[in-house]
Amino acid sequence: MSRLLKWVRAHLVVLAGILALAYLVLPNLVVLAFSFNKPVGKFNYEWSQFSTDAWTNPCGVADMCGSLALSLQIALLATLGATVLGTMVAFALARYRFRGRAATTALIFLPMAMPEVVMAASLGTLFLNMRIQFGFLTILIAHIMFCLSFVVTAVKARVMSMDPRLEQAAQDLYATPTQTFLRITLPLVAPGIAAGALLSFALSFDDFIITQFNSGPTTVTFPMFVWGASQRGIPVQVNVIGTGMFIAAVVFTVAGQWLANRRKARA
Amino acid sequence: MTEQQPEAATAGGDVRLTGIGKTYGDFTAVQPLDLTVPQGSFFALLGASGCGKTTTLRMIAGLEEPTSGTVLIGGQDVTDLPPYKRPVNTVFQSYALFPHLDIFENVAFGLRRRGKKDVKKQVESMLELVELGQYARRKPHQLSGGQQQRVAVARALINHPQVLLLDEPLGALDLKLRRQMQLELKRIQTEVGITFVHVTHDQEEAMTMADTIAVMNAGRVEQLGAPADLYENPGSTFVANFLGQSNLIAAEVTGSADGDLLLSASGVRLAMPKARCATDATKVYLGVRPEKITLAHASATGDIAEGRNRLQGTVVDSSFIGVSTQYVVRSEGGQEIAVFEQNMDRDIRIAPGAPVVLHWNPAHSFGLDAAQAIDAGTGEAAA
């Protein structure tokens, strides 16, 4: 008994880790498994037969790959816009004193704090009143807006924690303000910018609520497609895309870790 | 290093500050001051934290904009030049090495910014000078404090600045390493012949390394001079207490004879050379350094030579510290006086409670105006 207790005590952390991992990964494994299913009827909820149909013909469903392309396009542009704007806002807030700074600092958190559906509806109303045609542009503007606060938060933390003497040292060593920014400031803040950009991409890619309220009749993003399809039965190909995204995320994370470790070991 | 010397030597490296001052709103960090640092000298700005020494240094570097006055380096007015256009380099407190660049690139940074193409040889010989040749590809965080400090020096020196500014460069090192680096820096300075301006709060460090020390207090330069000069002839109670330790005895001038001032310290007659008294006031402090005083047991009073200043007292405390013994003696007047005696012929009768006579050569006394606070500069003196 006491030996068992000892074993449990020694391995409790590992056990908890495995359980947490299972909790996180099991849904993805179910998605993976059902991407090889050949469902009977419209719904892909019950296992019937193994098949690679969906994998060999991922774009076989009408409009699905088009919506995927649109989502990727919006996510990339939103990430770019939010990262550039957010980085500039973060620097302004961290470095300068100006009128309205306190208000900006508070307001920048609003998109994170506000219920998404409220923000989505009010944005939709705004676009409507301004007579802006709903479509690609409105979705993009909405996405940049809600991604912005995440980028600002990530970058600002990084800028604030940076030793101001590093930039002074660069200037002391003949670097002009531009050179100082490009060679010292930017590389040191880069991890914050990267974190903000990754978050933006993920948030924009899978956003449904805000997109739903601000899209036009021809702009159907991937989450909107899945939602629409779920009424009639989700095609197996959605599982294929889901699995693909999951694998891409895992590869990305592992590669990042590996690179960081290698850099640490080499340095 | 030899190929680098001519460039540094021909460039005028004297620093001239005229009326330079800095205020932040209502707070005056540096009172307008004039200061000339001659070419090739090792100059120390010494003072407690918050005395304005670092602000002064940063105004020379261009990292702080002076509220008034001008900065001239080698005859050129650089007051309005940004830091990257000034012929000075700084060794920062805590070094400020670029964490994302390796040691080689840290050292090469200044050369590259000035468009030098072939930096490899220079960087390598610079790293040899500071004995870090094999660490070129390491990152700063993989080096010890002392090694990082040497990188910071190499990174600044490789640019052959006309003036090298050092902002408490040894503050983060432990005592033993600090002593070693003091000698190292002094060696490098002699070797390259560049003007060094060194900011420190450590009086021993300033005296060990500098040719000239400016003692700063509350935004002003209290006194300027060679270390020995400052130590022997302090001009204020702050300097007397901040540089080493001083016994200051309140006394009144009663007359003069043969170039000596005759004094009375609560009835006890003392003397000091007129030339060593920094004031004309009648109420003065007679100062004497603890190591200049000799202790004699009260029963041996007869052996003391004529013409020496004498004070009677009782030993309160004694502590043996190897090369010397430090005594605290309470004088008749009730003042505690510190005495350092070398451990040569120890009189075992001199122990706490023993009646003693303190005596010293009047020429070893100095005089200060008694209108000042007697304990100015004592608080940080040990730092």
Is A29 a member of any domain?
Answer: no
CATH number of the structural domain spanning residue A101: 1.10.3720.10
Which residues in chain A have their CB less than 8 angstroms from residue B104's CB?
Answer: none
Burial of A168 (0-12, 13-18, 19+ CB in 10 A): buried
Say whether B159 and A174 touch across the interface (CB within 8 A).
Answer: yes
Residues 6+ apart with CB under 8 A from B339: B290, B293, B295, B326, B327, B328, B329, B358
Q: Comparing A49-63, B36-50, B99-113, which segment has the lowest mean pLDDT?
A: A49-63
Instruction: State chain B's mean pLDDT as an integer.
Output: 89
Question: How high is the pLDDT of residue B379?
Answer: 66
Q: pLDDT (tens digit, 9 = 90+) per residue, B299-347?
A: 888 888 888 999 999 999 999 888 889 999 999 888 999 999 988 877 7
Is A266 a member of any domain?
Answer: no
Question: How high is the pLDDT of residue A221?
Answer: 93
Cβ(B200)–Cβ(B383) under 8 Å?
A: no
> What confidence tier does B129 reach under pLDDT thresholds 50, 70, 90?
confident
Shortest CA distance to B91 belongs to which of B16, B151, B136, B44?
B151
Distance of alpha carbon A82 from alpha carbon A147, whole angstroms = 6
- The beta strand positions in B149-219, using DSSP E, are 163-167, 195-200, 212-217
Mean pLDDT of B114-133: 89
Say whether A172 and B88 touch across the interface (CB within 8 A).
Answer: yes
Distance of alpha carbon B84 from alpha carbon A176, whole angstroms = 6
| Helices A2-34/A236-266 angle, 10° precision | 130
Which residues in chain A have their CB less than 8 angstroms from residue B63's CB?
Answer: 168, 171-172
Task: Please provide the distance, in angstroms rounded to a whole number, between the alpha carbons at the two ends of chain B.
Answer: 35
ipTM: 0.80
Distance of alpha carbon B54 from alpha carbon B167, whole angstroms = 7
Q: pLDDT (tens digit, 9 = 90+) per residue, B297-306?
A: 988 888 888 8
- Segment holding B353, helix H or strand E: none
Question: How high is the pLDDT of residue A23?
Answer: 95
A contact set with B (CB within 8 A):
163, 165-166, 168-176, 179, 183-184, 187-188, 267
Q: pLDDT (tens digit, 9 = 90+) per residue, B64-86?
A: 999 999 999 988 999 999 999 99
Q: What is the mean pLDDT of each run of 10 residues along chain A (267 residues)?
A: 85 93 93 88 82 86 90 96 96 90 89 91 94 94 94 94 93 95 94 93 93 91 91 87 91 89 69
Say whether B61 and A172 touch across the interface (CB within 8 A).
Answer: yes
Is A257 a member of any domain?
Answer: no
B76-77, strands of its sheet edge to edge: B27-37, B15-24, B68-73, B76-77
> What confidence tier does B124 reach under pLDDT thresholds 50, 70, 90?
very high
Is A224 a member of any domain?
Answer: yes
Domains annotated for chain B, with CATH where assigned, are 2-232 (3.40.50.300), 245-369 (2.40.50.140)
Question: How high is the pLDDT of residue B381?
Answer: 39
Tokens 């040191």 map to which residue? A188
Q: For residue B4, is pLDDT > 50? A: no
Mean pLDDT of B204-225: 92
Distance of alpha carbon B202 from alpha carbon B181, whole angstroms = 14
More confident site: B258 or A187 = A187
Domain count, chain A: 1
Q: For residue B225, is pLDDT > 90? A: yes
Please state the pTM of the whole predicted model: 0.79
Q: Give whole-number Cα distances, B294 to B189, B265, B303, B322, B339, in Å.
A: 39, 19, 12, 18, 8
Give the domain range for residue A96. 62-234
Say which of A169, A176, A267 has its CB closest to residue B96.
A169
Say whether A169 and B83 touch across the interface (CB within 8 A).
Answer: no
Distance of alpha carbon B43 from alpha carbon A102, whole angstroms = 45
The radius of gyration of chain A from alpha carbons, rounded to an integer in Å, stands at: 23
Question: How high is the pLDDT of residue A265?
Answer: 67
